[in-house]
Amino acid sequence: MSLERKFERAAKKVWRLKAKPDDDTLLELYALYKQATEGDVEGRRPLRGGMKAMAKWRAWKGLRGMPIDDAMSGYCDMVITLFTSRAAA
């Protein structure tokens, strides 16, 4: 299966988690997803949206320079880890 297909499946599967991940995990998932789908963050930090928007922007900016394939792979790995750690708990 291609990496793109695995990524698409992981993006759909993550919505089926029974318990919401902690905020740091959610930020990392968000940043990896944005890096995989849009590449490096562009523009200036958001002035609207409050602390949540700023945290998301900073998390994404932290991945600047990461290749899209690496972001896709990292996202897939995180989703697999979330499902296996939740199943073990």
Indicate the fold that domain 3-88 takes in CATH: Acyl-CoA Binding Protein (1.20.80)
Asked if residues 35 and 69 have their Cβ atoms less than 8 Å apart, the reply is no
Question: How far apart, in whole angstroms, are the C-alpha atoms of residue 56 and residue 34?
Answer: 10
pLDDT at 49: 81
pTM of the model: 0.91
Name the nearest CA neighbour of 39 among 75, 63, 12, 73.
Answer: 63
- Residue 87 pLDDT more than 60? no
Question: How far apart, in whole angstroms, are the C-alpha atoms of residue 8 and residue 64?
Answer: 22
pLDDT in tens, 46-81: 878 889 999 999 999 999 999 999 999 999 999 999
* Confidence category of residue 33, pLDDT binned at 50, 70, 90: very high
